[in-house]
């Protein structure tokens, strides 16, 4: 990822709105961008980070309780693994992964990073093939977490799925300043996703991205003290601007940003080149909120709309993006009409 492109991107930001200016108009990341480029749902239930009470956990999965039963096992694992560090209870994500995953590592370490200017894509990107090997029977070692936590057979698969979903939420979708530490308030959301519920992740993720004004107080762009899902910004840049080499892939069910995955795939322009690159872009060819249809379509906001159409209507509405993480509450204005 090229910090020079991001620096130029931030320099073009309007100070009064969350849009970014070019010579032809305004442009910005929209909810629809996060859905199409990043693969995040833009409809579904409200995302919330919360720690249930003991009474709610004891009745999880029963009656009208909205908390999945698998959530209790995530809290149980955290309680078993957490450490007291100078009076603060915390748990590194490496310990969490080590507890749940007892298999063999199949991916090689990535190559050493460098910022050399590149004119063509590297021959080796260290990208996973995307192919998942056939499932094999778990060994006794791989069953140990379920035995340790006394997880019923019927809930093993769902709990085992919730554990990595939790890491994905904390590390890639909604990271915080507590980098590489386990955040128990996310357990409920991870358990709901593992159960098959649909949560609107695009709204809180975009709210986190729109807090870009915090970067103005950072002492150095290369030592950012601001944590947000920056990879979605890079995916957006790569989609609309020639900042990355395309990674060929034949699977159409991947998010758009998979095209720019891999080590050393950025073109690494200098700051001046990045500024010119962003200024010359015509916003009219950006499909932030475009349907890309040849015929007129009438949409009526009813309960019979498909998930994709409901998400599209949500992305068109002006309003506020909200995010609550612990004691931090983020409310950012959202005006897609300014860059649609």
Asked if pLDDT for residue 72 goes beyond 90, the answer is: yes
**How many residues appear in the chain?**
340
**According to the per-residue pLDDT averaged within each range, which of 61-65, 99-103, 243-247 is highest?**
99-103
pLDDT of residue 188: 94
Q: What is the pLDDT of residues 114-169, one digit of tens each?
A: 667 777 777 777 776 667 777 788 888 999 999 999 999 999 999 999 999 999 99
The Cα 260–Cα 245 span in angstroms is 6
Phi, psi of 92 (to 5 degrees): -70, 145
Q: What is the pLDDT of residue 162?
A: 95
Cα dihedral angle (206, 26, 218, 181), rounded to 10 degrees?
10
- The two tokens of residue 339 are 């860059």
Q: What is the pLDDT of residue 12?
A: 54
End-to-end Cα, the chain, rounded Å: 26
Tens digits of residue pLDDT in 79-99: 888 876 666 778 888 899 999
Q: Which residue has the higher pLDDT, 3 or 276?
A: 276
pLDDT at res. 166: 93
Mean residue pLDDT across the chain: 79
Please tell me which residue, 202 or 108, carries the higher pLDDT value. 202
302: left (phi over 0), alpha (psi -120 to 50) or beta: beta
Is residue 186 pLDDT above 90, yes or no?
A: yes
Strands 20-22 and 25-27: antiparallel
Range scoring the smallest mean pLDDT among 18-32, 265-279, 304-318: 18-32
């Amino acid at each position: 990822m090229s910090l020079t492109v991001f620096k130029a991107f931030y320099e073009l930001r309007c100070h009064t709105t969350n849009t970014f200016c070019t010579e032809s108009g305004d442009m910005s990341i929209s909810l629809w961008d996060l859905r199409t480029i990043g693969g995040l749902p833009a409809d579904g239930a409200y995302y919330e980070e919360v720690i249930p009470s003991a009474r709610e956990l004891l009745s999880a999965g029963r009656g009208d309780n909205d908390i999945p039963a698998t959530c209790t096992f995530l809290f149980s694992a955290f309680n078993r693994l957490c450490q007291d560090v100078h009076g603060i209870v915390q748990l590194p994500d490496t310990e969490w992964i080590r507890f749940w995953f007892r298999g063999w590592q199949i991916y090689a370490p990535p190559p050493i990073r460098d910022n050399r200017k590149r004119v063509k894509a590297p021959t080796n990107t260290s990208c996973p093939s995307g192919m998942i090997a056939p499932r094999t029977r778990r060994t006794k070692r791989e069953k140990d977490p379920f035995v340790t936590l006394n997880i019923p057979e019927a809930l093993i698969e769902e709990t085992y799925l919730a554990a990595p979903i939790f890491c994905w939420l904390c590390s890639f979708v909604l990271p915080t300043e507590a980098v590489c530490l386990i955040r128990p308030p996310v357990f409920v959301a991870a358990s709901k996703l593992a159960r098959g519920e649909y949560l609107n992740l695009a709204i809180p993720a975009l709210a986190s991205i729109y807090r870009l004004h915090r970067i103005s107080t950072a002492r150095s762009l290369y030592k950012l003290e601001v944590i947000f899902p920056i990879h979605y910004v890079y995916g957006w840049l790569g989609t609309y601007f020639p900042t990355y080499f395309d990674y060929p892939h034949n699977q159409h069910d991947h998010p758009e940003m998979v095209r720019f995955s891999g080590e050393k795939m950025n073109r690494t322009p200098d700051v001046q080149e990045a500024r010119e690159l962003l200024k010359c872009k015509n916003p009219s060819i950006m499909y932030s909120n475009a349907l890309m249809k040849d015929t007129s379509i009438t949409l009526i906001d009813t309960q019979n709309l498909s998930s994709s159409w409901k998400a599209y209507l949500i992305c068109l509405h002006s309003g506020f993006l909200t995010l609550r993480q612990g004691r931090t509450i983020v409310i950012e204005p959202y005006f897609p009409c300014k860059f649609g």
